[in-house]
Each structure stands twice: as C-alpha cells, then as structure tokens.
Amino acid sequence: MIPGPLKRLFNRKPSEGGEVRTAEALGGLLDIPPEKVDLDALCPAIIPREFSASGDWPGPVVQLPVDGVDLTWVVHGEPDLVRYVDWRLDAYWRDNEVDWRSKAMANLVRVAHAHPHSHEFRGDDGRVVMVVMMHEDGLGPSRLLVPHLLDEVFPDGYQVALPELTCAFAFGVTAGDEDPRIEELISGCFTNGTRPLSPLRYQPEHFWLAVDQTPPVAGLEQP
C-alpha cells in the first residue's frame, strides 16, 4: 500500500511552461540580513544541477557524484520560507570566522538521527525492505548526506535513489528477488514527480562523499 503523501506525489503534474533555474523555483524566499540569520536553522540542501548549470545560482554549490543534482545550503524559516546561502551570507560568515558549513552538517545530523525516515515498507517476514525520506521539514533527500544513517535499519547493506527532488528512497540489498514495490515507487516518482531527477540507484557513499567537498562548482566562484 502506498502512503498518502506518496500518492499525492504520483498525482502531481510536471511544471508547464519554461523551466525556472533560480532559487525562486524552490519556494518562498526569506529576506533576512546576515547578522540575523539563525545558524541553528542552516542545513545542506540538494538542488537540480540545471540550476547551477544556468550560471545564475547566487551562492556556493558543490557538485555531487550523482546524476542531475548538486549540493547547496539553506536556512529554513516559518512557514515554508527559506533563504539559500548566497555570496553575501558566505562573505559575512567568513569575515566573522564562522565555520558555517560544519554547523550546517551538524544541524542536519541532529535532525536526521531524530527522524531518519518518514515511511517504511516491510516484507512478509516483518523486515524493513525500504524506507522513504519525504519529511515535512523539507530535508528528506538531504538525509542521504548523513553517513551510516540507516546502517541499523539495513545491517546487510543498502542502496539509495533520488528520483524526485522532494523524495528519496533507501532499500536493503538482498540475495533473493527484490520486492516489486521498490522499482514501482522509484520509477513512479521519476515519471510523475514535479521535479524528476534520476531513476538510477546509488551506493549511499556517493552522497557521503559530499560532506568533505568544499570547493564550489567551476564557474560559480564568488564574483
């Protein structure tokens, strides 16, 4: 049975008209002066690579070794408002010797360990075969960046998928036949999601590598 939030995702229609490749495409933006930004609300965030490829992304970006996505950073506000880290924020924190990238990762680790996944699917034997990361905090897919987050859920190893910008999956590696729901959900989210990313599957380490990457994408250095 597919949970309600996933059913709604499957029923979305792709955006019509021209593609938007700036921060405005990802939701309401907070206009907060740098000195008033709450560092406890800062976290890494995954964005479509087409945004940075357009050349007009306003701040630091790290290219992930994953098809179609990059890493940036975001400050979450209420309700459903965000501020993406731009060069102005980056300069302010560097001038004040704030290790903001480490702070952002620490925040994400705290949030992720408190609520690792939003939904789970079990097999006939009761074991978890797949979990979904589609959280109301907007950081569902960002949880893929946290090393070993799901080791206890999948002690025999697991793979991950990011078929849609708001929804990620992790599923156990098994020797027998794969649960058909895994491919059904991955392909369904990629085909019907508003912001499809990739139908591919990855080893989780592909996302963990991003934790140690600090240089911005070539061509996106601070002006």
| pLDDT tens per residue across span 161-208 | 999 988 999 999 876 778 999 999 999 999 998 888 889 999 999 898
Strand ranges (E), the chain: 28-29, 42-48, 62-63, 69-76, 81-84, 119-122, 128-133, 158-164, 167-172, 201-202
pTM above 0.95, yes or no: no
More confident of the two residues 106 and 177: 106
- Residue with more model confidence, 15 or 133: 133
pLDDT at site 61: 92
pLDDT of res. 79: 57
The pLDDT tens digits of the residues spanning 2-39 come to 454 444 444 443 333 333 344 554 444 557 788 988 99
Q: What is the mean pLDDT of the chain?
A: 81
CA–CA separation, 16 and 198 (whole Å):
19
Is residue 16 exposed (0-12), middle (13-18) or buried (19+ Cβ within 10 Å)?
Answer: exposed
Looking at residue 82, its pLDDT comes to 78
Spatial CA neighbour of 71 closest among 84, 87, 90: 84
- Does residue 62 carry a pLDDT above 60? yes
What pLDDT is stored for residue 218 in this prediction?
36
Tokens representing residue 155 in the block: 């002690």
Residues in contact with 33: Cβ distance below 8 Å, sequence separation at least 6, in sequence order:
none
- Domains of the chain by residue range: 4-8+116-209, 20-112
Mean pLDDT of 96-115: 95
